[in-house]
Amino acid sequence: MSMEMVWLVLMGLVLGGYFVLGGYDYGTQMLYPLIGRDERGRRVVRAALGPFFFGNEVWLIAFAGVLFGAFPRLEGTLISGLYPLFLLLLLGLVVGKAAVQLRSRARNAQVWDVLIVAGGLIAAVGWGLVVGVLLHGVPYGTDGVVTLGWSDVVNPFVVMSGVSNVLLLGGHGAVFLTLRGSGDIVERARRLARPLLLGAIAAVALTTALSGGTAVTRPTVAFILVAALVVALTIAVLLVARNRSGWAFAATSLAALLPVPLVGAGMYPYFLTSGEGGLTVSQGAADHTTLMTLLPFGLVLVPVIAVYQAWSWWLFRGRVGPTTPTYF
């Protein structure tokens, strides 16, 4: 395996970790007023996010860091090329994160509740759109600059990618709450999980049906990954019906993660392409010396991070209730 491939996989793991962990945060935020019907219930939903809220977000920051370190030429082109989408995402993330933490201390509870939901929704839509835009194909100029137009975002395939991600992360968040909540929270989350997951399956199928003319370079690989996504969601529906919350969460986690290899492998050898020409993985990567120098750190640290985060989940495992601490 070439050095670029090792880093592509490591970066994919970090981004995948973020999609799974940040994903249930956003799903939970979107469902927050539906599942937390009264003040007490809403408090439980916020407490469910509890000790992992910072740790989940760091996966995104680490993705940006690894992107800059290992694929610096991609970093500038991707983020500045998709500027409006990343602007929207960052604003959604900042507002949502701040709202979840400040809500307990705030006077105008309703305003903060709206911000919590809006933050989750914007993040879920935003990442769906980013994945959709990349798969659909970005206008990659001969000068190596990407300039996004309206038609690159507002088209059926990309919009359906956004919708798919909202339903997928909604289902993921609902399953998370069946695992983490208590009392009537669990019951409401379970009732919501089923339609959300079924909706996600339908949305993914429709998006796939619209995928003619996209910039996917390896359609077979892409179809296998999409099929795996649909299977994972279907299994999650069945497991939720049987009250197997832990395994259902594993299934929705896999579903939330699969868009990462879908972009990485489905577009290979390109990162950014309009269908013909574009920025390849090796063009986007840092120089061999840099990748080599960073490699020991990447190979050691990513597993170490996974271990201490797992330790944190283990220590704070179990269901949360009305007396579980929240932020502030």
Partner 1 sequence: MDVVDLARLQFAGTTSIHWLFVILTLGLVPLVAITHTAAVLSRDQERKAKLLRATRFWGQLYVVNYALGIVTGLVMEFQFGLGWSGLGKVAGNVIGAPIALETLIAFFAESTFLGMWIFGWGRLRPALHATLIWLVALTAYASAYFILVANGFMQHPVGHEMRDGIAYLTDLGAVMTNPSALLALAHVTVAALMTGAMFVAGVSAYRYLKGDREFFRGWLRWGTVAGAVLSIAVYEVGALQYPLLGRTQPSKLAAAEGGGFVALAHDVMVYLGYTINTITAIAAILVFFRWAVRWVAWLTVVIVPLPFVASLGGWLFREVGRQPWVVYGELTVDQAVSHVSTATMWTSLIAFMAVLLALAIANWWLIVRFVRRGPDGVHIGQEEQWA
Of positions 28, 77, 207, 245, contacts partner 1 by CB under 8 A:
77
Q: Which is nearer to partner 1, 238 or 304 (CB)?
A: 304
Which residues from 33-52 bind partner 1, rule CB under 8 A?
A: 40, 43, 50-52
Give the one residue of 4, 25, 75, 152 binding partner 1; rule: CB under 8 A: 75
Task: Establish if 278 lies at the interface with partner 1 (CB under 8 A).
Answer: no
Q: Which of residues 288-317 bind partner 1 (CB under 8 A)?
A: 289-290, 293-294, 297-298, 301-302, 305, 308-309, 312, 315-316
CB of 66 to partner 1, least distance (A): 5
Where do we find the tokens 């309206």? Answer: 150
Tell me which residue of 153, 131, 97, 158 sits closest to 256, measured CA to CA. 131
> Closest distance between partner 1 and the C-beta of residue 98, in Å?
6
Nearer to partner 1, 9 or 90 (CB): 90
Whose Cβ is closer to partner 1: residue 97's or residue 172's?
97
Please, which of residues 214-273 interact with partner 1 by CB under 8 A? none
Q: Name which of 64 and 202 has its Cβ closer to partner 1.
A: 64
Structure tokens at 288: 């061999």
Q: How many CA atoms lie within 13 A of 292 on its CB side?
A: 3
- HSE at residue 286, side-chain half, CA atoms within 13 A, is 19
- Compose the 50-69 pattern: x for residues touching partner 1 by CB under 8 A, - for all others: xxxxxx-xx-xxx-xxxxxx
In the block, residue with structure tokens 């796939």: 208
Question: What gap in Å lies between CA 2 and CA 44, rounded to an integer?
Answer: 47
Site for partner 1 in 85-104 (CB under 8 A): 86-87, 90-91, 93-95, 97-98, 101-102, 104
Minimum separation from the CB atom of position 52 to partner 1 (A): 6
Least CB distance from residue 101 to partner 1, whole Å? Answer: 5
Nearest distance, CB of residue 191 and partner 1, angstroms: 25
Between residue 119 and residue 148, which ones bind partner 1 under the rule CB under 8 A?
145, 147
In angstroms, the CA 162 to CA 203 distance is: 9
Contact residues: partner 1, CB under 8 A? 40, 43, 50-55, 57-58, 60-62, 64-70, 72-73, 75-80, 83-84, 86-87, 90-91, 93-95, 97-98, 101-102, 104-105, 145, 147, 286-287, 289-290, 293-294, 297-298, 301-302, 305, 308-309, 312, 315-316, 322-323, 325-328
